Amino acid sequence: MVSAGDFRKGMTVEIDGQVWLIVDFLHVKPGKGAAFVRTKLKNVMTGAVLERTFNPSDKFPRAMIERKPMEYLYNDSGLYYFMDPETYEQLPLNQSLVEDALAFIKENMTCTVQFYNGSAFSVEPPNFVELEITETDPNFKGDTATGGNKPAVLETGARIMVPMFVSVGDVVRVDTRTSEYMERV
């Protein structure tokens, strides 16, 4: 059990039979009255976001989330297949569970699949991926490394902003948490 006064970002707790991820929290001690904890919670199963306040002494069971590295194999008829590298078992997941990661994963890439009570609920791509640029505006004479940015499409279909000197066929490193261009590889 964890008390609301001990909440931290990234912690998962069970509230009213649902699993919630603490996105943000603030301990408030007003001049008058009792202290309270203002939180922003995200339901890990549905993705719903909720703002709620708690008494610091309220206690909740901690939700244990299992994170397992799995290799993305292929998709077929709306199912995306992931393989456990230790047991070679294949796990088919619906598109709704995978769609946030699809912009940055390709076949044979290792991802993190999150489980709660043995049931997968989310797929996270690696923090940094190297992908090829398939579409972008052409370079023009005078474009510099410190110039502006231009839109580009990655081989997975994701759209990011890249420096003016990046061209079609270049392989770039992308931060999947922020969808930002990091460097040309």
Q: What CATH number should be reported for the domain holding residue 156?
A: 2.40.50.140
Q: Which CATH number does the domain housing residue 12 bear?
A: 2.30.30.30
The reported pTM is: 0.74
Output the average pLDDT for the chain. 89
The boundaries of the domain holding residue 24 are 2-60
What does the pLDDT read at residue 140?
Answer: 64
Note whether 21 and 53 are same-domain residues: yes
CA distances from 21 to 40, 54, 92, 98, 127 (A): 9, 15, 24, 18, 19
What does the pLDDT read at residue 146?
Answer: 57
Q: Which residues contact 38 (CB under 8 A, 6 or more apart)?
A: 25, 26, 28, 51, 52, 53
**Total structural domains within the chain:** 3
Sole residue written with tokens 């919630």: 20
Q: Which residues contact 167 (CB under 8 A, 6 or more apart)?
A: 133, 136, 138, 139
Tokens of 65: 């989330």
Tell me the mean pLDDT per 10 residues along the chain, length 185.
Answer: 89 89 90 91 85 93 91 91 93 86 91 88 90 86 66 92 89 91 90
What does the pLDDT read at residue 18?
Answer: 87
**Last residue within a domain, chosen from 16, 33, 60:** 60
Q: How far apart are CA 70 and CA 49, in angstroms?
A: 27
Note whether 52 and 88 are same-domain residues: no
What does the pLDDT read at residue 69?
Answer: 95
Q: Which residues contact 170 (CB under 8 A, 6 or more apart)?
A: 132, 133, 184
